[in-house]
Structure 1
Amino acid sequence: MESGGGGDADADFDAPSSKALARKEIVAYGIGHMLNDLTAACWFTYLLIYLTDVGLTPREAALVMLCGQVSDGLATVAAGYMIDLFGGFKIWHGGGSLLVSISFSSVFGGCSVCVITGNKTLLVETLGYSVFAAIFNIGWAATQVSHMSLVNCITANPTSRVALNSCRNAFTMVANLLLYGIAFLVFTFKSNDNVERQYRWIASANVAIGGFFVLIFLLSVKEPRLQHHFQPKLYTKISFVSWFRKILYYQVALVYTLTRLTTNVSQALLAFYLIDDLYMVESSKAVVPAVIYMSSFFTSIWLQECHWTSFRLKAAFTTGASLWLFCGVGFFYLSSSFQLYIYPLALVVGTGNALMLVTATSMEGLLVGHSLSGCAFVYGSLSLCDKLACGFALYAIEALHGTETPAFCLLNGRCSVSLVRRVLALVPGGCAVAAAVIALTAKFERRGENDPLREELLLPQAQSSSSSTTTTSEIIEIPSPGRDPEAPLWTKMAHTMVGRWGSLREPKAPWLDTP
């Protein structure tokens, strides 16, 4: 203990230990995001089709999602600032989870405001769903930010930090597959129930299972008492205004936002396409998204085996965009007579999604580089752009639902093609091509001739703390956990970017762990 007036005060704080975490501690942390993952998968896959099935017009349904997207984007930035300022990670996590549970059940359980007021007009329904959509996304953001931020407080061991994030991503996979499994059972064995009752079953199961895991997380994970802003004073603060002077910032922002538009628009409209255009059974709304997710997941794992350079990053992204062009053609010409071909098409969609998502998120890391004090602004601002763009895009698309005018007719005279079919054929593929063009023109910082992108976070602790002025050329390459045949399963899943859209990745730099 230090002598002097500050010694006793310092003794009340626990510095993150550099000792490796036990497996049960890693698992206890990983399950803490299960509620968020379950509800998010249901939200983006089924919200629009659920709201239209219960009586809202496509425009009002899209307005509900837009309110949620705007709230999510703003709350993500605000929650990060407040948590940095006041701490209390588990309090934010528990409070956010409570808001998620209540609001999610209120959205998919029927119009609670209508029941309370005794008024079920379209205006009251839209207002009621919009309010709870906003509350849901505020709680979701608080839970997500606090859960991710807790990694650096739990441990200072770089390998354990990778394991924590890896385990979290592994349970993201479990949550998504669990959601689609629950939906499949409900749509298959509760097919005679009305729509509200079906989705109430799904929502109740999600909240019950997710809430159980959140409770285990809150009881099992110890939050150390840390000094405010546990950071070395030698780092220089960078004004967020400086990012606006970088052309690369705008390029990466456009690439990331267009990538999210590609994946989110296709996911939100897929259920409409399966039921209204291909006339498939209700259970297909669970099976086809599950196929896409599994394809994305395994492609993401395979991507971790690659030896990345800036050129290969751009090549992989362009390949994903090209696959989406092929998928757009498939969505347009696939008829109900050949509806089973949607499954191989879903495999291609999943592969394209993974190629674009993984590489686009990696471009964010290249943009941040060594400007660690500005990384929060970059990730937060890009996440805000993504959420606002997706919200307004879906609102614009749904606002056109039912307005079949000659302006939508193709050159061959086919005016009977549904709006959903046209959107799936043109919007995701168009966004993907535009993003690929921008990505190819971006000039990322060179790290030396043919210098690969490296797993800097996996540096040994002694090496990472040996000097506060480590340069990129001094960093040795450490094999990725995805390439280690003896690594546990969740470590191989460390960098899969599938799961909750808009999730953030911690920048990998050794001096983050300087004591």
Structure 2
Amino acid sequence: MVDAIHDELPARAQNAEPLRRLEILVYGAGHMLNDITSACWFTYLLLFLTDLGLSPRDAAIVMLSGQVADAFTTIFAGELIDRFGHFKKWHAGGSILVAISFSSVFGGCLPCKIIGKNSSTLQTIGYSLFAAIFNVGWAVTQVSHMSMVNCITLNPTSRVALNSCRNAFTMVANLSLYAFALVVFSVYNAKAYDGIKLEYRWIAYMSIFMGCCFVVVFLIGTKEPALKQRRHSESFSKISWNYWFKKALYYQVAIVYVLTRLITNVSQALLAFYVIDDLGMPQSSKALVPAIIYISSFIVSVILQEISWTSSRLKVSYTSGAILWILSGSGIFVLPSSLHSSMYIFSVIIGIANALMMVTGISMQSMLIGKDLNGCGFVCGSLSFMDKLSCGLALYALESYQDSDQIMRSSAENGGFSVTRYGLGLIPSFCALISALVTCSMELEETHSEQLTEPLLV
């Protein structure tokens, strides 16, 4: 049945013609709303909730509730997209839900207002509710956008270029968030409860407005993928889940993808705590250090779009990024506060490593899917399910250990290391090592494809 489906591909797909520059750029813009809200979620949510008086454990519960909702939604979204198609409609619906709910994540506690009490339990429930709603919309948008890559083109180089462009826009979203945050924090410099809420609400509004502008560009400038339309108009035959579970490559790609996401998300969530509490750097470093990481990632992501990709190059590039993370993570773990300026150097290395691992790690999904387009939603959804669940549990565990200031500040003067050092240094390094070993063991189908019709760099 799968071979018969392959025979139905349009001529353009069979020839795997490379994409043009504008097609790639417009596609990359489609995830900006998700990217900028995600950056705010992982960078500022824990800080915001603890600033409002919640304990680190309660703040972690809020984040975990969102991650769990996100994880289970990806499974259902992937199944529905495989069954019914219509990537753009799912993307638009998810984006609307994200835009409506995100400001409430950083807003007031609705149950507290209804009941008239402001206990930590009610606050945790209230913020967890909106965190879950936000992540449902986020998951639908992510799965639909990620699945589109495989149905837009069969050209391996163009698929990597689409993922690379998406990653470049992710860096733009992160940098934009920090620019917004710098302006808002400079203007308000709030200390009181109401002022803190107002600060983050303005950051949320500005992020939503910018993200929605890019979503409109994506929806107007992108056509519904012809490959998927052809499948549903002629003879739909959904690929069974068992088809993927019997593939050893599915489990290998799943391990690499989940560990890659774990590296980037955990490091992003703990970075602000590390530079301030462990290294004693100035407050501006909370924005400057992440900015250096994202600028480095942006530059590398753009460069990666110019390469003619094969499966061998994917494996080499991913392994190189993993090695860079192992080296930088080990350095971060032992870095004394007296040498905190070295963190700027590590930031450049981390940015390069993140780009190499994210672009090639996501592109391995496309190598796994190949021409089996009627299962692309399940693959993207199931891998995202494992990613969101593992990240949520990891951050919950780390934050739970930070519930005591003594543990949080167990530093050089006592000859120990803080939980943040372990979370930012050793955990990403260990994940990078495992993912590199798994990548080296993969047997990817060797591919050769033409470069893009037009280079992205001129």
Q: TM-score, normalised by structure 2?
A: 0.81
Whether the 8 Å CA contact 1:188–1:283 is kept in 2: the answer is no
Whether the 8 Å CA contact 1:45–1:267 is kept in 2: the answer is yes
Task: Give the corresponding residue for 1:56.
Answer: 54
Whether the 8 Å CA contact 1:79–1:145 is kept in 2: the answer is yes
Report the residue type matching 1:361 in the other structure.
I
CA, structure 1 residues 358+137, in 2 after alignment: closer, same or farther (shift >3 Å)?
A: same
Shift of 1:400: 1.1
User: Pairwise mapping of residues 74-473 of structure 1 onto structure 2 (< 5 A)?
Assistant: 74-85=72-83, 91-147=89-145, 171-192=169-190, 194-214=195-215, 220=220, 230-231=230-231, 237-306=238-307, 308-403=309-404, 414-440=414-440, 442-447=441-446, 453-454=447-448
Task: Give the corresponding residue for 2:6.
Answer: none
Shift of 1:426: 1.1
CA, structure 1 residues 414+212, in 2 after alignment: closer, same or farther (shift >3 Å)?
A: same
Shift of 1:152: 9.1
Whether the 8 Å CA contact 1:187–1:282 is kept in 2: the answer is no
* 1:478 is aligned to 2:446: no
Task: Give the corresponding residue for 1:70.
Answer: 68
Whether the 8 Å CA contact 1:68–1:133 is kept in 2: the answer is yes
Q: Return the alpha-carbon distance in structure 1 between the equivalents of residues 216 and 133 of structure 2.
A: 21
> Any idea what SS the aligned residue of 1:444 has?
coil
Task: Give the corresponding residue for 1:487.
Answer: 455
CA, structure 1 residues 259+146, in 2 after alignment: closer, same or farther (shift >3 Å)?
A: closer
Q: Which moved more, 1:316-325 or 1:287-296?
A: 316-325
> Any idea what SS the aligned residue of 2:282 has?
coil
Whether the 8 Å CA contact 2:35–2:170 is kept in 1: the answer is yes
Structure 1 stretches lacking a partner, 5+ long: 1-14, 448-452, 455-476, 493-515
Report the residue type matching 1:444 in the other structure.
E
Report the residue type matching 1:136 in the other structure.
F
> Any idea what SS the aligned residue of 1:230 has?
helix
Q: Return the alpha-carbon distance in structure 2 between the equivalents of residues 339 and 205 of structure 1.
A: 32
Whether the 8 Å CA contact 2:87–2:224 is kept in 1: the answer is no
Q: TM-score, normalised by structure 1?
A: 0.73
> Any idea what SS the aligned residue of 2:54 has?
coil
CA, structure 1 residues 339+394, in 2 after alignment: closer, same or farther (shift >3 Å)?
A: same
Report the residue type matching 1:418 in the other structure.
S
Whether the 8 Å CA contact 1:300–1:354 is kept in 2: the answer is yes
> Any idea what SS the aligned residue of 2:230 has?
coil
Report the residue type matching 2:33 in the other structure.
L
> Any idea what SS the aligned residue of 2:280 has?
coil
> Any idea what SS the aligned residue of 2:231 has?
coil
Q: Return the alpha-carbon distance in structure 2 between the equivalents of residues 166 and 126 of structure 1.
A: 37
Whether the 8 Å CA contact 2:143–2:381 is kept in 1: the answer is no
> Any idea what SS the aligned residue of 2:202 has?
helix
Q: Percent identity?
A: 52
Shift of 1:128: 0.7
Q: Return the alpha-carbon distance in structure 1 between the equivalents of residues 332 and 225 of structure 2.
A: 53
Whether the 8 Å CA contact 2:90–2:140 is kept in 1: the answer is yes
Whether the 8 Å CA contact 2:105–2:127 is kept in 1: the answer is yes
Whether the 8 Å CA contact 2:253–2:368 is kept in 1: the answer is yes
Higher helix share: 2
Whether the 8 Å CA contact 1:72–1:134 is kept in 2: the answer is yes
Q: Which moved more, 1:194-203 or 1:21-30?
A: 21-30
Report the residue type matching 2:389 in the other structure.
L
Structure 2 stretches lacking a partner, 5+ long: 1-9
CA, structure 1 residues 135+260, in 2 after alignment: closer, same or farther (shift >3 Å)?
A: same
Q: Return the alpha-carbon distance in structure 2 between the equivalents of residues 404 and 78 of structure 1.
A: 40
Q: Which has the higher contact order (CA 8 A, sep 6+)?
A: 2
Q: What whole-Å deviation, never above 9, does each CA across 1:225-284 have from its counterpart, x for those lacking one?
A: 999963175786542113223333222221221121111111111011122222333332
Shift of 1:208: 2.8
> Any idea what SS the aligned residue of 1:349 has?
helix
> What is the number of residues matched between the two proteins?
439
Q: Return the alpha-carbon distance in structure 1 between the equivalents of residues 142 and 433 of structure 2.
A: 31
Report the residue type matching 1:103 in the other structure.
S
Q: Return the alpha-carbon distance in structure 2 between the equivalents of residues 307 and 228 of structure 1.
A: 25
Whether the 8 Å CA contact 2:154–2:371 is kept in 1: the answer is no
Task: Give the corresponding residue for 1:471.
Answer: none
